[in-house]
């Protein structure tokens, strides 16, 4: 079962579902209770057909209502439905001149960290051409066609819902098959939050004749076959030189280009330790202190279970929180995991050089600043406060140049 990427708190349960939502719930329950692969295929096809119609604009709200209901009533059926919804939003079939093509929305994530501002926006044309060529040569299958969006995107700038994702897949898929370049218009991109460590994404669509391999690691019989590890090594070696000028002033790690939702989850997972390390690094420069002079207070936050840990960082001799970091729990993660999320947070802080760590055991309601909307963090006294740098500390330059 795929884990849901997004926050685990959903809308309040509705007392009545629309007919479309009811049918989705019933079909997902059928798939969850299936007794054979043959029956699985029946239910999967039924879900695919219904979801395609709903996400194309007929009634996308029914999809979210069905997910809400199953999230509260049947975890296994919820997992079956979220997997089908993700598939319907990131993949579809297009037909051109009588030939059917399978299209898949893909991401190449970079986990980046800096003391400055992590770039976003329009990529230079030569970078788009080079990155597209390396993606196709080192990751995609021989018969694949590819269209790369000409933007370096933050998670805030990715399509916002499953219906928008399907429209994006259709649009870029049509361009991949026609060979036409996408429009280079950055005006419609929303603003992105400024963070010391964050993910950046290249997004595109790969299209192949129906039933053909999409990636090199699928071509088991072909001379072009390469394992996932080999594809990642080649992608890093060839793409990184083209990404370094784009991500000037940043350290970054390249992840393997893959399907949209799996790489969203992997990027979320991989950015968490970098967020702590980047915060510690930032404070050592901004406040002229050693990592061992920093102190960390950790507290769990959530409504009825732990959804995230928040870490408040302060300087030795003061309880004021000068920097905060959120460590979200993703999908099925829980406090009972080995190692536990709390231990992962502690280990990351220690690796970054922070030795004084205090954990507050109570589960706290998620609180945010009423003025700016920023999360509030625990201090060394156990109070939930705003993170603020001292007035006498000069702010860092927001741009590298």
Asked whether residue 397 is assigned to any structural domain, the reply reads no
202 and 175, same structural domain? yes
133 and 227, same structural domain? yes
**Do you find a cis peptide bond into 262, omega within 30 degrees of 0?**
no
312 and 261, same structural domain? no
Find the Cα–Cα–Cα–Cα dihedral 321, 326, 327, 333, rounded to 10°.
130
- Binning pLDDT at 50, 70 and 90, where does residue 395 land? low
Number of H helices, E strands in the chain: 9, 14
pTM, two decimals, is 0.90
215 and 148, same structural domain? yes
40 and 170, same structural domain? no
> What tokens appear for 33 in the block?
């209770």
The answer, yes or no, to whether residue 6 has pLDDT greater than 80, is: no
Among the ranges given (3-12, 84-93, 113-122, 286-295), the one the predictor scored with the smallest mean pLDDT: 3-12
Q: How far is CA 390 from CA 286, 315, 317, 354, 377, in A?
A: 10, 11, 13, 20, 16
Which residue segment(s) compose the domain that 79 sits in?
19-89
Asked whether residue 11 is assigned to any structural domain, the reply reads no
152 and 32, same structural domain? no
> What tokens appear for 144 in the block?
């694949």
Looking at 70, 89, 108, which one is the last position of a domain? Answer: 89
Give the separation between CA 259 and CA 205, rounded to whole angstroms: 9
Condensed to tens digits (0 to 9), the pLDDT of residues 133-165 reads 999 999 999 999 999 999 999 999 999 899 999
Asked whether residue 326 is assigned to any structural domain, the reply reads yes
Which residue's entry shows tokens 């000068």? 322
250 and 171, same structural domain? yes
- 98 secondary structure, DSSP code: T
The answer, yes or no, to whether residue 15 has pLDDT greater than 70, is: no
Give the separation between CA 14 and CA 156, rounded to whole angstroms: 28
The pair phi, psi for residue 104, each rounded to 5°, is -135, 130
Mean pLDDT, the chain, rounded, equals 92
216 and 137, same structural domain? yes
62 and 122, same structural domain? no
| pLDDT at res. 181 | 94
Per cent of the chain over pLDDT 90 is 85
Domains of the chain: total: 3
Looking at 29, 60, 89, which one is the last position of a domain? Answer: 89
Condensed to tens digits (0 to 9), the pLDDT of residues 177-229 reads 999 999 988 888 898 988 999 999 999 999 999 999 999 999 998 677 899 99
Q: Within 13 Å, how many C-alpha atoms sit on residue 90's CB side?
A: 20
Asked whether residue 401 is assigned to any structural domain, the reply reads no
Looking at 269, 302, 336, which one is the last position of a domain? Answer: 269
206 and 107, same structural domain? yes
User: What is the bridge-based pairing of β-strands 377-378 and 99-113?
Assistant: unpaired
199 and 117, same structural domain? yes
Give Cα 149 distance to the centre of its chain.
17
State whether residue 313 is helix, strand or coil. strand
Residue 198: which residues within 8 A CB-CB, separation 6 or more?
111, 112, 113, 118, 154, 155, 271, 275
- Binning pLDDT at 50, 70 and 90, where does residue 401 land? very low
What's the alpha-carbon Rg for the chain, to the nearest Å?
23
357 and 258, same structural domain? no
């Amino acid at each position: 079962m795929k884990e849901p990427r997004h926050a685990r708190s959903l809308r309040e349960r509705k007392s009545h579902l629309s007919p479309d939502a009811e049918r989705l719930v019933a079909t997902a329950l059928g798939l969850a209770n299936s007794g054979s692969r043959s029956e699985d295929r029946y239910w999967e096809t039924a879900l695919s057909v219904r979801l395609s119609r709903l996400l194309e604009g007929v009634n996308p709200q029914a999809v979210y209502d069905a997910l809400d209901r199953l999230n509260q009533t049947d975890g296994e059926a919820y997992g079956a439905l979220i997997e089908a919804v993700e598939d319907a939003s990131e993949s579809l079939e297009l037909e051109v001149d009588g030939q059917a093509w399978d299209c898949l929305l893909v991401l190449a994530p970079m986990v980046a960290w800096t003391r400055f501002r992590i770039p976003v926006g329009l990529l230079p044309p030569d970078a788009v051409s080079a990155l597209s060529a390396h993606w196709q040569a080192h990751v995609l299958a021989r018969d694949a066609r590819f269209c790369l969006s000409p933007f370096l995107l933050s998670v805030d700038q990715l399509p916002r819902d499953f219906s928008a994702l399907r429209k994006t897949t259709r649009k870029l898929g049509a361009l991949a098959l026609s060979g036409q370049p996408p429009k280079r218009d950055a005006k419609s991109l929303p603003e992105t939050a400024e963070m010391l460590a964050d993910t950046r994404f290249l997004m595109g669509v790969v299209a192949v004749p129906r039933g053909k391999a999409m990636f090199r690691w699928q071509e088991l019989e072909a001379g072009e076959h390469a394992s996932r590890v080999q594809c990642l090594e080649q992608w890093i070696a060839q793409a990184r030189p083209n990404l370094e000028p784009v991500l000037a002033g940043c350290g970054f790690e390249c992840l393997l280009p893959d399907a949209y939702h799996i790489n969203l989850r992997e990027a979320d997972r991989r950015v968490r330790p970098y967020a702590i390390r980047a915060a510690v690094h930032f404070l050592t420069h901004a406040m002229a202190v050693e990592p061992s002079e920093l102190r960390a207070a950790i507290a769990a936050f959530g409504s009825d279970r732990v959804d995230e840990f928040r870490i408040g960082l302060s300087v030795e001799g003061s309880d004021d929180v000068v920097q905060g970091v959120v460590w979200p729990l993703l999908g099925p993660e829980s406090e009972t995991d080995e190692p536990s999320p709390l231990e992962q947070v502690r280990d990351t802080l220690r690796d970054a050089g922070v030795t004084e760590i205090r954990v507050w055991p109570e589960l706290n309601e998620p609180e945010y600043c009423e003025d700016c909307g920023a999360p509030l963090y625990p201090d060394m006294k156990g109070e939930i406060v705003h993170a603020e740098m001292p007035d006498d500390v000069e702010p860092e330059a927001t741009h590298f140049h």
